[in-house]
Chains A and B, each alone.
Chain A
Amino acid sequence: MTSVTLPPVAWHAIEAFIVLNVLLGLVAYVTLLERKFAARMQSRIGPYYVGRPHGWLQPIADALKLMMKEDIVPTTSDRAVYNLAPIVFLVPCLLIFATIPFAPALGVADLNIGVLFFLAVSSLEIVGLFMGGWGSNNKYALLSAMRAVNQIISYDLPFIFAALVPVVLAGSMQMSAIVTAQHGLWFVAYPVIGQLAFVAFLVATLAAENRVPFDILEAESELVAGFRVEYSGMKFALIQLAEYAHMLGTSFLGALLFLGGWLGPGPAALGPFWLLLKAMVIFLLVTWVRWSFVRIRVDQILAISWKLLMPATLLLLLATGLVVATRGAGGG
């Protein structure tokens, strides 16, 4: 493929362009998937009329609608911060896809510190969140931004610890190496440690993605819509896009770290398909939880994180280290 003589930078740029566009389409259709899935859970039909059968044009109609809506900037807002916030929120959420390989050597950049890059960048989204909440000059948004900072700080650590378990098991931070290490045994099937880490990862994912039962910063029953209450039109669309992109990215990460990435039966060309399927499984798990639980309170969320999840994941990481060390000593 590299027979075309292009400088590596240009090659990366083309790849990034393709990934970005595929990703945006995917995000749009993930929203449709979630809506249909939720509708089934609630004995509804969901989107139906826009693009028969089953509303397959709905995401495009939504995007068009949001683009055409009036862009309202509250007069009392901090204009610069308010306008910048959706972009600051979106960029890290898209950037995380840079390190995700969709198949061996198919991705923008398979960094040797891929997992670390992913975790570091994905927690940057809080800056955008806080800017949005602060810049809107709205009390609901402000409270939501406060909650966001509390929650994301609390849940990033368990999230990282849970994600580090496969890293320790594989002995590498490179995504492709982690997948390769899962030949034969996916890490989710690794006795005890794998399952515990996967559950912890899912819980922390819910919190990091601000999904029910941890969606206290959106909390439309008390804070109306939280930090995005003042946003409309395309800025609102960017925030939604960022949220779903983040969710999708985390689902891909979960699939790569725990579910064996692109490994699966059939020819190697099916790799991206398997990865997508596994990511969707994680996504639907998260959605399932979302549509069956009630939201919990901010103090309870913090208590779960600091009193339960943090020590548990820390211990798990320690145990993983011990297992790997003894396995190494035993010559495995």
Chain B
Amino acid sequence: MAATQTQQVVEVGYGGNERLMMNMGPQHPSSHGVFRMILTLEGETVVAVDAVIGYLHRCHEKLGESLTYVQYPSIASKTDYVAAMTAELAYVAAVEKIAKIDVPRRAQYLRVIVAELQRIASHCLWLGTWCLDMGGALGGGATVFLYCIREREMVLDRFEELTGARLLYGFHQTGGTRYDMPAGWDKKVRETVDFIEKRLDEYEAMLEDNTFFRVRTQGVGVISREVAEAVGVSGPLIRGSGVAYDVRRAEPYSSYGDFDFVVPVETAGDCYARYRVRMVEFRQSIRIVRQALDGLPEGPISSRPAVKSVAQVRVPKGEGYTRIEGARGEIGCYIVSDGGPKPYRLKWRGASFSNLAVLPHIVPGHKVADVVAIMGSVDPVFGEVDR
């Protein structure tokens, strides 16, 4: 195309179609951060995708090796900055597991409450941006986006009341939580989830009853169970492909065993199935929040004294992998400790990284417009992909 390019490779297929290489990203309205897809197009149809990631790489694993167990949690939240509560929790839970540190029940319940509120906030952002991808910044998508942001803001307000921060919290610490809830907070949380629950009905009415939304999502971006497992996707993606896999159920952590909730499963594997799964998860999260608030025990919020020095937490020699269910799927930390105040090796298993890896397997054969719909339904957060 461009005269500045020295060579333009044009493959002519047997159908007489010329292939066009198109760059989508890293600066692109629907790249959800900084993501680059090199699409090979035949007309409007995508025949090949090369995904280029790493634009947001900060080498979190190296940082984890050079910061102590006390310092790192505040940075851990920057891996998945859209769901910072769960990202922090993943690291802290891994440290607790290797060091065999107990967590008081009140802290466990508080962790569940914030993790589920975070899931609600994260799904709100997902729904909004996904509709923005399909409907455009100057269209119906923007309307849903603004509605969702409005609801997400309410959850962020609750977090602000709890921790003083809106996006990156520093709420969890080894052995418990850093803050207890302020007076009257539980009432406000109840009001917030009641309100959001009502609004969910509105979204569903606006989207599911809309034929255009259905034709854009049903049968688009089908991930078969085989592909889902081989690639290792998790969270709503694998549940949308017919596997009832949820870490909260498979390996309950933070007293998730105490709560009654449903793991939604859809079998179609398309964008619509993933949408349905997340819509049910919204409601299940609200259910869990209510149960946790009802049963919130009294007691200390941390089994360890307040942090006074950066090398306060020492972990005996050993290693272990701990996982939790984040908003986007399984977040895990593999930590190798040599007995010092810093981990010898920290491996992040980012849910978005594995989820995004499915794109090259499902995108070819779709139209250009579907690429952004599929991409949005995967819900990647590039802080977590690139780490």
* Chain A interfacial positions (CB closer than 8 Å to B): 38, 41-44, 75-76, 137-140, 142-143, 146-147, 212-213, 215-216, 218-224, 290-300
Contacts and interface: CB of A to CB of B under 8 A. Distances in A.
B30 interface: yes
Nearest to B3: A76
B161 to A, nearest CB: 23
Chain B interface size band reads 35 or more
B212 A294 contact: yes
Given A42-B143, A218-B136, A219-B136, A296 B372 contact: no
A297 B140 contact: no
Per DSSP, chain A at the interface is loop
A212 B20 CA distance: 26
A213 B216 CA distance: 11
B250 interface: no
Contact of A221 (B146, B212, B372): B372
Interface string B20-34: 101110001110000
Interface of B: 1-4, 20, 22-24, 28-30, 41, 43-44, 131-143, 146-147, 150, 206, 210, 212-213, 215-216, 367-372
Contacts of B137: 220-221
B13 to A, nearest CB: 17
A291 B369 CA distance: 19
Nearest to B206: A292
19 contacts: A38-B143, A43-B147, A43-B150, A76-B2, A140-B22, A213-B140, A213-B212, A215-B139, A220-B29, A220-B137, A221-B372, A290-B140, A291-B140, A293-B135, A294-B135, A294-B210, A296-B216, A297-B369, A299-B367
Contact of A42 (B22, B41, B136, B147): B147
A291 B212 contact: no
B139 A212 contact: yes
B368 A143 contact: yes
Nearest to A150: B44
B220 to A, nearest CB: 9
Contacts of A76: 1-4
Given A220-B29, A291-B142, 16 more contacts: A42-B142, A43-B147, A43-B150, A143-B41, A146-B43, A215-B138, A215-B139, A218-B138, A222-B24, A222-B369, A223-B368, A291-B139, A293-B139, A294-B139, A296-B212, A297-B216
A42 B30 CA distance: 21
Contacts of A292: 140, 143, 206
Contacts of A216: 369
Contacts of A43: 146-147, 150
Given A76-B4, A298-B369, A212 B138 contact: yes
